[in-house]
Amino acid sequence: MGLDFALKTGAVKSAPAYEVITTFPVQIVNGELQIKDTRLRLGFRY
């Protein structure tokens, strides 16, 4: 049995998960996946 989280929000969808997970904005530019780490207040990085 695994954990179940909402992909967009990180919200818990079912047990045994009990904490929301951190999510990050992503984008694809010229075929490269870029992830914005909002904890660091930086632009998109990959």
Distance (Å, whole) CA 19 – CA 4: 11
Rounded-to-integer distance, Cα 30 and Cα 28, Å: 7
- Where do the domains of the chain lie? 1-46
State residue 30's pLDDT score. 93
Residue 25 pLDDT greater than 80, yes or no: yes
Q: Using 50, 70 and 90 to split pLDDT, how confident is the model at 15?
A: confident
Which band of pLDDT confidence, cut at 50, 70 and 90, is reported for residue 43?
Answer: low
Would you state the pLDDT for residue 10? Answer: 79
Q: Name the pLDDT band for 22 (thresholds 50, 70, 90).
A: confident
